[in-house]
Copies of this chain bind each other. A is one copy, B any other.
């Protein structure tokens, strides 16, 4: 039943996302013993105008 939401800065390739969901699923299986079939992952791509650290947009860095 684990549900994972991942926010990433946009620009990740399909190959990177494919690897990410494989590896994150495996990480959850190995750490808490949930079956892989129960792991759901949602990725959300953030534009650099939509992410800020310390009061500053990533697009302004």
Q: Could you say which of B21, B31, B33, B55 contacts A57, with CB atoms under 8 Å apart?
A: B21
CB neighbours (8 Å) of A28 from chain B are 6, 20, 23-24
Interface size class of A (residues with CB under 8 A): 35 or more
Q: How far is the CB of A55 from chain B (nearest CB, A)?
A: 3
Q: In the complex the two chains form, is B50's CB within 8 Å of A1's CB? A: no
Q: Could you say which of B16, B25, B27, B43 contacts A50, with CB atoms under 8 Å apart?
A: B43
CA distance A6 to B25 in the complex (A): 11
Assuming the A-B contacts A2-B8, A32-B12, are A52 and B41 also in contact, with contact meaning beta carbons closer than 8 angstroms in the complex?
yes
Which of A's residues lie within 8 Å of B, judged by CB? 1-9, 12, 14, 16-28, 30-33, 36-46, 49-60
